[in-house]
């Protein structure tokens, strides 16, 4: 079973663990980064649709892209999913398993194995760059990544555990992916006081990270074994959803993340 997890916009500046491998598309990322380094702060603010402070921070990052200290991708991100993945506490056995089974999606490096070396950056799906043939970067990556993902899943057992987000599906010909491999897409819901189910973004991100951790620690390779996952009140609900969309439900409580 191969796993997809999205990257995060918030990144650490360094990690205590050294990377093991180089990203498969490092040369492509280098070209995109050079284009970004050639932009001024005003252009970065517009292209990244961010504050001027963040634009200035990322201008500085891209100026030092080729000399910055590299860190393992799984240790580099600090978004909600990664706070609950807690990669820094994973042992070597879990990291070795992750290196064989986990893909991290992102708009600069395309696809990353967790121990691939990356540097701090920010990239958005809609950025247009000369090295991306003038296309938005998500469309630019599609022809490069689709076969890589499909081939890796087929070389495993034909199952893709989709814990990334809809935004990153655009990196691939997603219709082809769903047609050629078995995509299992867990959904996480909070049951409201009126009994209705509601998906809450913060909880969904938290559960995606926690489920990746669960898979890595227990070396899970079968979708059926995902049913053992439970986290912060979320439990598998066998009477809901379908085989490819397993539902995990939490009763509404006042527990804070």
Strands 245-251 and 234-242 turn out to be: antiparallel
pLDDT tops 50 at residue 256: no
In order of 13, 48, 112, 117, 123, the CA distances from 68 in angstroms are 9, 21, 18, 11, 17
Determine the average pLDDT of the residues in 147-176.
97
Nearest Cα to Cα of residue 32 among 97, 113, 118, 101: 118
pLDDT tops 60 at residue 255: no
Integer Rg of the chain from CA: 18
Comparing 256 with 157, the larger pLDDT belongs to: 157
Model pLDDT for residues 183-212, shown as the tens digit of each residue: 999 999 999 888 889 999 999 999 999 999
User: According to the model, what pLDDT value does residue 103 have?
Assistant: 98
Helix (H) or strand (E) holding 118: strand 117-118
Beta bridge partners of 138: none
Model pLDDT for residues 133-156, shown as the tens digit of each residue: 989 999 999 999 999 999 999 999
User: According to the model, what pLDDT value does residue 257 have?
Assistant: 45
Strands 187-191 and 197-198 turn out to be: antiparallel
Determine the average pLDDT of the residues in 16-21.
93
Determine the average pLDDT of the residues in 116-138.
95
| Contact present, 52 and 45 (Cβ < 8 Å) | yes
User: According to the model, what pLDDT value does residue 253 have?
Assistant: 55
User: According to the model, what pLDDT value does residue 134 have?
Assistant: 85
Nearest Cα to Cα of residue 94 among 220, 199, 248: 220
Model pLDDT for residues 30-88, shown as the tens digit of each residue: 999 999 999 999 999 999 999 999 999 999 999 999 999 999 999 999 999 999 999 99
**pLDDT grade for 169, boundaries at 50, 70 and 90:** very high
**pLDDT grade for 224, boundaries at 50, 70 and 90:** very high
| Contact present, 245 and 118 (Cβ < 8 Å) | no
Average pLDDT, the chain: 95
Q: At what angle do helices 26-37 and 52-63 cross, to 10 degrees?
A: 120
């Amino acid at each position: 079973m191969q796993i997809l997890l999205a990257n995060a916009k918030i990144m650490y500046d360094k990690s205590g663990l050294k990377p093991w491998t180089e990203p498969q598309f490092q040369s492509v990322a280098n070209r995109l980064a050079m284009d970004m380094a050639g932009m001024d702060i005003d252009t970065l603010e517009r292209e990244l649709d961010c504050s001027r402070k963040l634009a200035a921070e990322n201008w500085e990052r891209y100026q030092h892209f080729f000399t910055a200290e590299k860190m393992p991708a799984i240790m580099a991100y600090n978004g909600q999913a990664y706070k609950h993945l807690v990669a820094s506490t994973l042992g070597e056995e879990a990291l070795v398993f992750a290196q064989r089974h986990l893909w991290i999606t992102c708009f600069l490096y395309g696809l990353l194995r967790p121990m691939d070396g990356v540097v701090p950056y920010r990239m958005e799906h809609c950025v247009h760059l000369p090295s991306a043939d003038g296309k938005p970067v998500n469309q630019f990556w599609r022809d490069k990544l689709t076969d890589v993902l499909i081939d890796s899943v087929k070389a495993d057992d034909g199952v893709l555990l989709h814990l990334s987000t809809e935004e990153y599906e655009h990196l691939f010909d997603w219709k082809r992916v769903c047609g050629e491999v078995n995509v299992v897409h867990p959904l996480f819901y909070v049951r409201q006081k009126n009994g209705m189910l509601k998906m809450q973004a913060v909880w969904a991100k938290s559960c995606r990270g926690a489920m990746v951790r669960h898979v890595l620690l227990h070396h899970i390779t079968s979708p059926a074994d995902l049913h053992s996952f439970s986290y912060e009140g979320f439990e598998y609900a066998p009477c809901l959803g379908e085989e490819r969309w397993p539902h995990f439900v939490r009763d509404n409580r006042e527990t804070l993340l």
